[in-house]
Amino acid sequence: MSHAATEEVHGHPALQHHFENMEQQREAGTLGMWVFLVTEIMFFGGMFLAYTLYRSQFPAAFASASNHLDIKLGAVNTGVLILSSFTMAMSVYFTQVGKLRPQIVCLILTLILGVTFLGIKAVEYHSKYEDHLIPGKLIASSQFGPTVAHEGDQDPHKLHLLPGATVKQVELFYWIYFAMTGMHALHMIIGAGLLTFLIIFSIKGRYGPEYHSPVEVIGLYWHFVDIVWIFLFPLLYLLGRHFEHG
Amino acid sequence: MSEHIVPVRVYVTIFMVLLVGTALTVLAAFHDFHYQFGGLSLNAIIALAIAVTKATFVVLYFMHVRYSIRLVWVIVTSALFWMAIMFALTFADYWTRGWLPVGY
């Protein structure tokens, strides 16, 4: 390796002294992020396990509670999140090929889509609040106690119980629903914070073909959060829909 | 740079696949497939199969694992492996609890 080439590889201001070159640093960063994501997978895995366990024990109650969720908002949110994953991936691409402006635009779009997701989620949470479906006595003004619909009652704000389901079991579903979507939303909020950080430094021109580990690594995190939702949407909103009786 | 840059058309294709998958999973949810395998309905299996497919595409292409070093593959696989252990051992308990009479 000639002296000039060595200077070029070693001279990047973002290269930490304990790495040989930028490529080694980038691979180490990606690897570290994946190790972190494994701990995240195990963390969410515990909640998916709880969900699977109680769904298998109380299938009728879980289907009844699931049918009360707003499938349109859930599906739109899935689309919003998938689109945000796409814009995030595109931002990584534009960083790799060194196009600064599209890189910033894609990051901003990703942030906007992430906030849109959280907004739609808030609308959903509010309707659960109004229907008294927030489990336990966490909120004094809306303790758990949905109005159970009688046979033939079409009111969407009332809880339609399938045969064999009890209100107590429905409450269990909503504990799991709020725990899982709440943890997911918290991850989205953290992700939005990280994106804000990326946008600020991206505008300063920090990231390009030579150095883009932060964009890549936060992208990995963002896609992971997307994957969690890819599982949450069918499990929470869709399973049991075919039992729907008006 | 030896880094693989995923072309834009791949990202667009994956994005389309994910949208189609979402539409399919919603459509499939309203159809009763009737079959039941133990505690698992065919509806649940179809929903999970679509979700796993979508997640696989995200991991391989959006997250670049397909083009990543072997060590990343090992780490991703280890996550799935330990998840499998957690589910298998837990359900080995819960699903078999009714097999023995209570009070032995």
Chosen for mutation from B4, B9, B26, B80 (greatest number of chain A CBs closer than 10 Å) is B26
CB B43 within 8 A of CB A239: yes
pLDDT tens column, B8-53? 999 999 999 999 999 999 999 988 888 877 667 888 999 999 999 9
Residue environment code for A56-76, b if the CB has 16+ CB neighbours within 10 A, otherwise e: bebbbbbbbbbbbbbbeebbe
List, as ranges, residues 95-134 from A with C-beta within 8 Å of B.
96-97
Of B1, B8, B22, Cβ closest to residue A75: B22
List, as ranges, residues 58-77 from A with C-beta within 8 Å of B.
71, 75
Question: Can you list the alpha helix ranges (DSSP code H) found in A58-99?
Answer: 59-68, 71-96
Distance, CA of A158 to CA of A243 (rounded, Å): 17
pTM more than 0.80? yes
pLDDT tens column, A78-132? 999 999 999 999 999 999 999 999 999 999 999 999 999 999 999 999 999 999 9
Of B8, B43, B58, Cβ closest to residue A239: B43
The conformation of residue B37, written as its DSSP 8-state character, comes to: E
Distance, CA of A152 to CA of A150 (rounded, Å): 6
Distance, CA of A14 to CA of A242 (rounded, Å): 55
CB-based contact A53 B90, cutoff 8 Å: yes
